[in-house]
Amino acid sequence: MDLANPPSPALLLLGTAAQALAPRLEASGYYCLQGDPHDPGSWGSPDLVVLAVEAAGAIPQLRRQLPSVPLLLDLETDSVMGRSESLSSGAHDFWLSSAGPSDLLMRLRLHSNLVQRAAARNDRLQLADLSLLPGRQEAWRGQRSLALTAREFALLQLLLQQAGEVVSRDTILRVVWPDQDSAASNIIEVYVRYLRQKLELGGERRLIHTVRGLGYCLAENLPKNLPKAPPKDPDQQLRPPETGATDA
């Protein structure tokens, strides 16, 4: 197994019964860390923790050290009292060593899915009724799913990450077209037009605003105090300043 790039999720196994299942868990695609219940320094940064009965005393420290990580405690023998004691100990769930690996694998899949969903929610970028999930390459305007190409998604993600601020053309080219030494002079305008068409397909109001001479700004309403574009020649310094923004 490549330790530099372990598969996800990573399991911390504490106690004899939990560690005995390491080969079976690794065969199912998990990366197993075998820690010492009495040594928090050996716990690493797992996605889930599987505890044998004798490791239950580590739960309070685990809750403090790994507050968002699900803890699964072995019941050994299933009973109403056993389940109640397991949950009252601070564990998030239990597993039945008497049922073999299948019970634990089922519960691990459940908690792995919950962890992934929580991560996806935290990954969400949103402004008004526009939302993106970068990890899943999905975007919506309200309830309407947006069919975006990879470049369109990258451009919209960049603008949304800098919502309310002007993103320069140079920054856009560097982030969205890093594989091209010199993109066509009008490529940004073309892709902004594509995005506007898709974002405003249902008659929604404009969110991507052009800031003349500077770049683009994604906002519900274009901020009033935007920087002015630098003059193109010395004579322009003697002229009255022009409006810095336009949605053309």
CATH number (domain holding residue 144): 1.10.10.10
pLDDT score of 74: 92
In a domain, 5, yes or no: no
What is the Cα–Cα distance from 224 to 117, expressed in whole angstroms?
38
In whole angstroms, how far apart are CA 41 and each of 13, 44, 54? 14, 7, 19
User: 157, 154, 160, 185: which is closest to 170 by C-alpha?
Assistant: 185
- The length of the chain is 248
Domain hosting 84: range is 10-122
In a domain, 3, yes or no: no
Q: Are 34 and 19 in contact (CB under 8 A)?
A: yes
Q: Are both 150 and 211 inside the same structural domain?
A: yes
Cβ burial of 45 (10 Å; 0-12, 13-18, 19+) is exposed
Three-point CA angle 224, 230, 232, nearest 5°: 135
Continuous segment of H or E residues that includes residue 95: strand 93-95
Q: Are both 59 and 154 inside the same structural domain?
A: no
Q: Are both 21 and 107 inside the same structural domain?
A: yes
pLDDT score of 17: 93
| pLDDT in single tens digits along all 248 residues of the chain | 333 344 467 999 999 999 999 999 999 999 999 999 999 999 988 989 999 999 999 999 999 998 889 999 998 777 777 777 777 788 888 898 888 888 899 999 888 887 776 665 557 889 999 999 887 788 999 889 999 999 999 999 999 999 999 999 989 988 888 776 656 668 999 999 999 999 999 899 999 999 988 899 999 887 666 666 555 544 444 344 444 445 54
Structure tokens at 39: 């040594």
* Amino acid, single-letter form, for residue 229: A
The sign one gets for the Cα dihedral 11, 17, 20, 25 is negative
Q: Are both 79 and 154 inside the same structural domain?
A: no
Alpha helices in 48-183 (DSSP H): 59-65, 80-88, 101-122, 150-161, 169-176
DSSP β-bridge partners for residue 94 = 73
Continuous segment of H or E residues that includes residue 10: strand 10-14
Domain count, the chain: 2
Q: Are both 108 and 176 inside the same structural domain?
A: no
| Nearest-10 crossing angle of helices 187-199, 169-176 | 80
Question: Who's near 17: CB < 8 A, 6+ residues apart?
Answer: 52, 53, 74, 76, 97
* Amino acid, single-letter form, for residue 39: D
Among 122, 143, 159, the domain-final residue is: 122
